[in-house]
Amino acid sequence: MKRSQFGDDDCIQAILDEIGSGTKIVCDLGARLQFSNSAHLIEDHGWTGVLVDKSPVAVQELHDAMGGMADIRQECVGIDNVNLLVPSDTWLLSIDIDSDDWWVWANLLARPAIVIIETNSVRGMYVCAYRSISKHDYGCSLAATILLGTMKGYKFIGRRDVNAYFVRSDLECEYRVPEVLRHQNAAVD
């Protein structure tokens, strides 16, 4: 069953069709059953991995739907625990924690083949302060995320609404994520 928010399941499958499924291990930070970038892989394609969310309700829904198929944890993800949460052999990493996404990826030591990370609509180079509590100061811009991905050895292959897609440069992925109309030709400045 496809569960992603913006047709991400189809984009993920297209990337996997090109580069392969590798270890079939997914790590979803900010995992929710609804709008999940990982549930389809786990439920329909035999993947396993780690699903993490700070919400007890979200974690219970994940346990009810996928208990036994993945390691489901209730934790607040941050720079202090990201390397304990993400398995070193993760093939696909999804980061959607609505706050410190950029900081978490910046501090990650593992090198998943695919990284999907939530961005905000701020133009230019922008990263919120770590652990910002402001409802208006959160996340990171696409430009800041592309810079981080490049520094970490990843190729940006497109954005689907708020989700930016990266593939490790050594995998030479030619696929491009079909961007949502409102983002096409948008300056990254």
Task: Give 189's pLDDT tier (boundaries 50, 70, 90).
Answer: very low
Distance, in Å, from the CA atom of 173 to the CA atom of 108, rounded to the nearest integer, reads 22
Tell me the sheet residues that pair with 92: 26, 114
- The Cα 74–Cα 136 span in angstroms is 25
Q: How far apart are CA 67 and CA 71, in angstroms?
A: 8
Give pLDDT tens digits for 45-61.
999 999 999 999 999 99
pLDDT, residue 107, reads 98
The size of the chain, in residues, is 189
Say whether pLDDT at 188 is over 90. no
Query: What is the phi-psi region of residue 136: left when phi exceeds 0, alpha when psi lies from -120 to 50, beta otherwise?
Result: alpha
pLDDT at 2: 66
- Which residue has 């990982």 as its token pair? 38
Stretch (H or E) spanning 48: strand 48-53
As a whole number of angstroms, the distance between CA 66 and CA 34 comes to 13
3-state secondary structure 114-165: EEEEECCCCCCCCECCCCCCCCCCCCECHHHHHHHHHHCCEEEEEEECCEEE
In the structure, what pLDDT confidence band is assigned to residue 185 with cuts at 50, 70 and 90?
Answer: very low
pLDDT over threshold 90, residue 5: no
| The token pair that represents 26 in the structure block | 């997914």
Tens-place pLDDT, residues 11-30: 999 999 999 999 999 999 99
Digit-coded pLDDT (tens) for 28-38: 999 998 888 89
Q: pLDDT tens-digit profile of 76-102? A: 999 999 999 999 999 999 999 988 999
pTM over 0.75: yes
| Tens-place pLDDT, residues 65-75 | 998 999 999 99
SS3 content of the chain, % helix, strand, coil (to 5): 30, 20, 50
Tell me which of 185 and 120 has the higher pLDDT.
Answer: 120
Which uninterrupted H or E stretch holds 93? strand 92-95
- Given a cut of 90, whether residue 110 has pLDDT beyond it is yes
Residues 6+ apart with CB under 8 A from 108: 82, 83, 86, 93
